[in-house]
Amino acid sequence: MRHLTFMRPNVDRRFRHRGFTMVEVMITVLVLSIGMLTIASLQATAKRSGHQAWQRSLAIALADSMVERIRANPSAAADYHTGLGDAALGGGTIADAPTDCAAEECSTEQMAEWDLWNWERRLDGAAIQDADDNDAGGLIEPHGCIVFEEAGAAAPDTGRLRVVVSWRGLTDTADAVQAGDACGEAEAGTLASRRQVVVNTYVIDEGS
C-alpha cells in the first residue's frame, strides 16, 4: 500500500500572523477624520450660502412689493416717502396700526399708511413667528427706505422712485452701500456685513 506524504510549505513564522500596525491604524483614523471635517465644513458653507441667497431673494421681493403698492396708489406717491438714514422703517418704528384698509374703505392717504405699516411688518418677519410669538421670518436687522422725488409742481405725484432694503449678512465682505444710498444706521462693526438692494423706477400718476 502506497503512502502519500504531504509537504507543508516553508512559511517564515515572522509573516504568518501579520496584521495592521499601530502606525497604520493611526494614519487611517487621521485620513478619515480629515475627510469628515471637510464634509462638515462644506455642509456648513452650503447652508450659509443658501441662507444668504434666500435673504437676498426676500429683500428683492420686499422692494418689488413696495414698488407695486405705490404704483397701485400713485396719487399718494409722495405719502410713501420716508427718506434715507435714520428715517428707515424696520424694527417696529410704526407703533400703532393704521386703519385696516383690507376691511374698510380708505382714502389714498390712509392706503399709504396701511401699506407702510404692512411693509414694515414684512421686513421684520411678522409672517412667521417662533414659539414665543416673536417675528422670525424676516431679514437680519432690516431697514427699508422709500425716496420719492416729484417731477415738478404741476405733477406732484409723478416722479422718480427709489426703494432700498438693507440688512446684515452672515459673513463679512465689503459694505454694500453706495454713496448716498445708506438706508438705516448700521451698528458699529457690522459695515462689512451690510447688504443692500436698491430698486429705481418711475411713477406716473395719470390722474394728476
Long-range pairs for 101-105 at CB < 8 Å and ≥24 separation? Answer: none
CB atoms within 10 A of CB 115: 23
Question: Does 159 have pLDDT greater than 60?
Answer: yes
pLDDT of residue 116: 93
Q: How confident is the model at residue 189 (pLDDT cuts 50, 70, 90)?
A: low
pLDDT of residue 207: 64
Q: Sign of the CA dihedral 131, 142, 90, 102?
A: negative
pLDDT digits (tens, 9 = 90+) for 66-124: 999 999 998 898 899 998 877 788 888 888 888 888 888 999 999 999 999 999 999 98
Nearest partner of 70 among 11, 154, 157, 133, judged by Cα: 157
Q: How confident is the model at residue 5 (pLDDT cuts 50, 70, 90)?
A: low
**CB burial string 68-91: b at 16+ within 10 A, e below:** ebbeebbbbbbbbbbebeeebbbe
pLDDT digits (tens, 9 = 90+) for 12-56: 555 455 556 778 778 888 888 888 888 877 777 777 777 778 888
**Where is pLDDT greater, at 3 or 169?**
169
pLDDT of residue 130: 56
> Can you tell me the distance from the alpha carbon of 35 to that of 42, in angstroms, rounded to the nearest whole number?
11
The β-bridge relationship of strands 143-152 and 194-203 is: unpaired
**Where is pLDDT greater, at 205 or 109?**
109
Q: What is the 3-state secondary structure (H, E, C) of 91-124?
A: CCCCCCCCCCCCCCCCCHHHHHHHHHHHHHHHHC
Which grid cell is 100? 385696516
Nearest partner of 112 among 149, 80, 65, judged by Cα: 80
pTM above the 0.95 mark?
A: no
- Distance of alpha carbon 150 from the chain centroid: 31
pLDDT of residue 4: 56
Whether 124 contacts 91, CB under 8 Å: yes
| Distances in whole angstroms, Cα of residue 69 to Cα of each of 2, 45, 72, 138, 206 | 108, 36, 5, 19, 16
The β-bridge relationship of strands 143-152 and 155-168 is: antiparallel
pLDDT digits (tens, 9 = 90+) for 117-156: 999 999 988 766 555 555 556 788 889 999 998 887 667 7
Question: Does 8 have pLDDT greater than 90?
Answer: no
